[in-house]
Structures are given as C-alpha cells and as structure tokens.
C-alpha cells in the first residue's frame, strides 16, 4: 500500500484508483460473462421434427453449432484467464490501459457474430472458407490485443514492483505463440476450414490447460500441511 503511493498522492486518489480498478473489472467480467452466454442464443432449436428419430437427426446435424460454441467459449475463457492474469499483476492502471481494455471488450463482445457466421456456413463448401477465415481473424485480433494490453502494462510500469522479471517474461512468452498459430491456421482454413477451427480450439485449450497460472508458481502445494485422518 505504502509503496503504491508516490509523492503528491492523497489517500483519496488511492481510493479512487481502487474504485476504478474495481469498476473496470466489473465491466470486463460482465462483458466476458455475457459474450459467453449469448453464444447459446445463436443455436436455433430444430423445428418440425415429426418423430423421435427425426429430432435426434436434426439435433445431431447441429454439430457445427456445438463446435463453434465450444471454440468460442474456450477462446473467450482463455482471454478471460489471460486478462485476469494481467490485472493480477497491475499495481495501478492509467488512461491508456482503460482505452485498450475497452478495445479488448469491443472485440470480445463482437465474437458471437463470426461464431454464428461460421456455424451457419460450415459444410457449405465455398462460403465456409470465407466464414472460417473471418472467424480466425477475429480470434487472432482479440488475442493480439490482449498481448498489446500486457506489453503496454509492462512498458508503462503499471505492474507491481514485487513481480519478478521472469514472471513477467513468462506471461509474455505464454501469450505470444498462439498468435503465430492463428496465422498459420487461417492460411490452412482457406483449404480445409474444419481443420482450422479444430486448431482454434486447440489454441484456446493450450491457453487454458497447460497455463502455469502466474500466482500458482508462487504458491507451494501444501498437501503435507494438514493430514486428514
């Protein structure tokens, strides 16, 4: 706390800053939660099935929608995880951070549209290439902006002083390779769209799963501490 205040800062400024950080988080989490939940609205219930078999068929034939749902959910989940990791490291935020953050949210809340587009055109030979490319480009842009947000935070010294340089570089290194993978997959998607989308899912899972979440490094497993009978 004490080290969060430079000369000339009143306690009121500190309090106001915390308040803003809280509201920034609240707005961001709101957008993430809604973007993720709106995805389901885009899957239409199959109409006019006459028999049990018919409905089962229609429901199964919706697999592209389920795939798109899972891909977009996972990607937004991964971006949320990265966003949380970034804000955890921040000591303060500035005007540039707020604006970049708004841009990240604009992209996140835009994602349901390309998701819907892809789900509508998969299996439709010509158009599905366009849909998969647009989809990949949007996912790429979202992640790229997250990386820019992080690099900006590091450059402008918004990060807590007690965060080690290796930790900071680790997060940078974790966020970067996905971008190259997106570019490669977008190219692949011009020929084999479904493979590209499978790859988008793999990127999201790579971010979610083997992600050494920063603070976990600093947190020793304490299995031994409290033996239960």
Do residues 214 and 170 touch, judged by C-beta distance below 8 A? yes
**Closer CB to a second copy, residue 134 or residue 144?**
134
**For residue 123, what is the enclosing H or E element?**
none
Interaction with a second copy in 200-219: which residues (CB under 8 A)? 208-209, 211-216, 218-219
Judged by CB under 8 A, does residue 113 bind a second copy? yes
Q: How buried is 148 (Cβ within 10 angstroms: 0-12 exposed, 13-18 middle, 19+ buried)? A: middle
Which member of 68, 73, 82, 203 binds a second copy (CB under 8 A)?
73
Which member of 105, 145, 186, 197 binds a second copy (CB under 8 A)?
105
Where would I find the H helices in the chain?
A: 11-38, 52-61, 63-89, 95-110, 112-121, 125-155, 165-175, 177-189, 193-208, 214-217
Q: For the residues of 50-109, what is the DSSP string, one character each?
A: -SHHHHHHHHHHTHHHHHHHHHHHHHHHHHHHHHHHHHHHBS---HHHHHHHHHHHHHHH
Judged by CB under 8 A, does residue 173 bind a second copy? no
Judged by CB under 8 A, does residue 2 bind a second copy? no
Q: Which stretch binds a second copy (CB under 8 A): 45-53, 136-144, 173-181, 195-203?
A: 45-53
Judged by CB under 8 A, does residue 94 bind a second copy? yes
Which member of 61, 63, 98, 183 binds a second copy (CB under 8 A)?
98
Interaction with a second copy in 118-147: which residues (CB under 8 A)? 120-121, 124, 126-127, 129-131, 134
**Closer CB to a second copy, residue 120 or residue 176?**
120
226 three-state secondary structure: coil
CB of 163 to a second copy, least distance (A): 7
Which member of 92, 143, 149, 197 binds a second copy (CB under 8 A)?
92
- As a whole number of angstroms, the longest Cα–Cα distance in the chain is 75
């Amino acid at each position: 706390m004490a080290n969060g205040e430079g000369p000339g800062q009143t306690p009121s400024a500190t309090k106001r800053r915390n308040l803003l950080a809280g509201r920034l988080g609240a707005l961001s989490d709101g957008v993430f939660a809604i973007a993720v939940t709106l995805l389901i609205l885009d899957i239409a219930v199959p109409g006019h099935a006459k028999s049990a078999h018919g409905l089962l068929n229609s429901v199964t034939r919706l697999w592209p929608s389920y795939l798109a749902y899972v891909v977009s959910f996972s990607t937004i989940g991964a971006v949320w995880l990265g966003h949380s990791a970034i804000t955890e490291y921040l000591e303060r935020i500035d005007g540039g951070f707020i604006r970049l953050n708004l841009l990240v949210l604009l992209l996140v809340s835009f994602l349901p549209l390309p998701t819907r587009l892809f789900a509508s055109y998969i299996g439709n030979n010509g158009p599905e290439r366009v849909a998969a490319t647009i989809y990949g480009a949007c996912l790429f842009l979202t992640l790229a902006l997250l990386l820019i947000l992080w690099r900006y935070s590091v450059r402008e010294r918004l990060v807590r002083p007690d965060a080690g340089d290796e930790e900071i570089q680790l997060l940078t290194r974790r966020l970067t390779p996905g971008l190259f993978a997106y570019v490669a997959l977008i190219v692949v998607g011009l020929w084999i769209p479904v493979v590209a989308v499978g790859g988008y899912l793999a990127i999201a899972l790579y971010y979610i799963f083997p992600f050494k979440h920063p603070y976990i490094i600093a947190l020793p497993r304490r299995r031994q501490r409290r033996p239960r009978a």
